[in-house]
A and B are shown apart, each in its own frame.
Chain A
């Protein structure tokens, strides 16, 4: 028996990024769920991004697993963004009437990072906003 490799979980800009590549066995998916919740606890990220651009297909099981991961993360106070669905995968998902409720979706990793970033200037403390040099010629 070959020891199934784990899906890597990396940190970037305060987010956890899970990049799923290729086909996963159900066992690997199960392992991923544990790893993600473990990482959320130990690294206290701002958000969780599941990058699916390297996934060849999403079947009912993997879809369900991603939903579960997102719901678990939300319970723990972490927002989840799913990104990078290939067009063909998205089409198949729609035809199968499968959804991933409870997550925001983004076109790609970059957009997902943007989405989860606390950008709104209104939300920043005033002193921080004032420090931003505004060099627009008026």
Chain B
């Protein structure tokens, strides 16, 4: 067991001696606190104000030139997003109506104005759009309004990338939750989410079983289409009978072979580079909406 990084001493453990001057409860902010379980996933949103100072090296921000041309969206964080929505609505709705549309949206989406996350924002926008449809009668105006709201939406989910070192089955489970987390942030439907997480599981198991170790990267991409991309890479022995496996004629001792084939069937894009002694890299993509 690794000892936890610096942070508030956990109550009851050795030598938790609160400074006498502190009357209030210990602040529970700061690095290390969120890592409740060992090996928790550390992720980072590139371009965001990173409070995650002690992020391990296994996490990389997304490639800098991710969005062709456009600079990283300035993420004001939470503040101001309802103001920005109101700014859009101001062109179409009277003050009283737009206020109630936003308030209603906040309630319906069950978001907290003070601590909104990406997924919250997307939910909020969905609700606001629903409200707008009720009040903006003119079709052309409505389309303009919705498309402007969509711009706020696209600015929201910054490209994300999570990298997991895979050595054991537990790592595969971690990779699965990473994929799930990313999907939820991207408002991916349950069916797509299930397919994506299944693919991660198959690719992860192949790494553990046939290569011993490797890594899985789950990332969002914006071009050419919004997609979730999974890249599984290892330096293992490589696959010698790839056509056979993908055709379904092959069955391994574990009844596998279904893994790669199944992954290919579940995903929209499937690319594999492998060869004897050259390791294996599988890149798959699932397009979103």
Q: Is A136 an interface residue (CB 8 A)?
A: no
Contact of A25 among B173, B256, B261 (CB under 8 A): B173
| Per-position binary interface string of chain B over residues 99-126, scored 1 when its CB falls under 8 Å from any chain A CB and 0 otherwise | 0000000000000000000000000000
Cβ contact within 8 Å between B198 and A97: no
Contact A86 B194 (CB under 8 A): yes
User: Does A57 lie within 8 Å of B258, measured CB to CB?
Assistant: no
B169 lies within 8 A of A26 (CB): yes
CA gap between A97 and B198 in the complex, in Å:
13
- B169 and A27 within 8 A (CB): yes
Give the A-B contact count at a CB cut-off of 8 A.
Answer: 76
Taking a contact as CB atoms closer than 8 A, the residue among A61, A89, A91, A92 that contacts B205 in the complex is A61
Q: How far is the CB of A122 from chain B (nearest CB, A)?
A: 40
Does any Cβ of B come within 8 Å of A125's Cβ?
no
B262 closest partner in A (C-beta): A96
Say whether, besides A64-B254, A92-B195, A57 and B169 are in contact (CB < 8 Å).
no
Task: State in angstroms the CA–CA spacing of A57 and B170 once bound together.
Answer: 15
When distances are taken between beta carbons in the complex, the residues of chain A under 8 Å from B177 are 23
Give A95 to B266 CA distance when docked, in angstroms.
Answer: 6
Measured between C-beta atoms, what is the minimum distance from A136 to chain B in Å?
45
Question: How far is B258's CA from A89's CA once the two chains are assembled, in angstroms?
Answer: 16
The verdict on A60 contacting chain B, using a C-beta distance below 8 Å, is yes
The smallest C-beta distance from B178 to any residue of chain A, in angstroms, reads: 12
Q: CB-CB contacts of A55-94 with B at 8 A, as 1s and 0s? A: 0111111001000000000000000000000111101100
C-alpha spacing A96/B197, complex, angstroms: 13
Could you say which residues of chain B place their CB within 8 Å of the CB of A27?
169
A60-B202, A60-B256, A60-B259 given as contacts; is B265 within 8 A of A95 (CB)?
yes
Q: Tell me the bound Cα distance from A83 to B169 in angstroms.
A: 26
A contact residues around B180 at 8 Å (CB): 56
Across the interface, which residues of B come within 8 angstroms of A87, CB to CB? 190-191
Would you call B186 an interface residue if the criterion is a C-beta within 8 Å of the partner chain's C-beta atoms?
no
Instruction: Please encode chain A, from 23 to 61, with 1 for each CB lying within 8 Å of some chain B CB and 0 for all others.
Output: 101110000000000000000000000000000111111
Considering only residues 157-198 of chain B, those with a C-beta below 8 Å from chain A are 169-170, 172-173, 176-177, 180, 190-191, 193-195, 197-198
Question: Which residues in A have their C-beta under 8 angstroms from that of B176?
Answer: 23, 56-57
Residues on A with C-beta less than 8 A from B173 are 23, 25
In the bound complex, residues from chain A placing their C-beta under 8 Å from that of B56 are none
The bracket for how many chain B residues form the interface is 20 to 34
Residues 86 to 123 of chain A near chain B (Cβ within 8 Å):
86-89, 91-92, 95-98
Q: Which residues of A contact B198 (CB under 8 A)?
A: 57-59, 92, 96
Residues of A within 8 A of B193 (CB): 88
- Measured CB to CB, the closest approach of chain B to A46, in angstroms, equals 29
Which residue of B has the minimal Cβ distance to A63? Answer: B258
Q: Which residues of B contact A64 (CB under 8 A)?
A: 254-255, 258
Q: Is B201 in contact with chain A by the CB < 8 A criterion?
A: yes
Smallest distance from the beta carbon of A61 to chain B beta carbons, Å?
6
Residue of B193, B194, B255, B259 ringed by the most chain A CB atoms within 10 A: B194
Nearest Cβ on chain B to A56's Cβ, whole angstroms:
6
Contact (Cβ within 8 A) B195 A95? yes
The answer to whether A59 and B194 touch (CB under 8 A), given A25-B170, A95-B266, is no
Return chain B residues, CB-CB under 8 Å to A23: 173, 176-177, 201
Residues of B within 8 A of A (CB): 169-170, 172-173, 176-177, 180, 190-191, 193-195, 197-198, 201-202, 205, 254-256, 258-259, 261-262, 265-266
Given contacts A58-B198, A96-B266, 5 further A-B contacts (CB under 8 A): A59-B205, A59-B259, A92-B266, A95-B266, A98-B258
Can you offer 5 A-B residue contacts whose CB atoms are under 8 A?
A: A23-B201, A56-B176, A60-B259, A92-B195, A96-B261
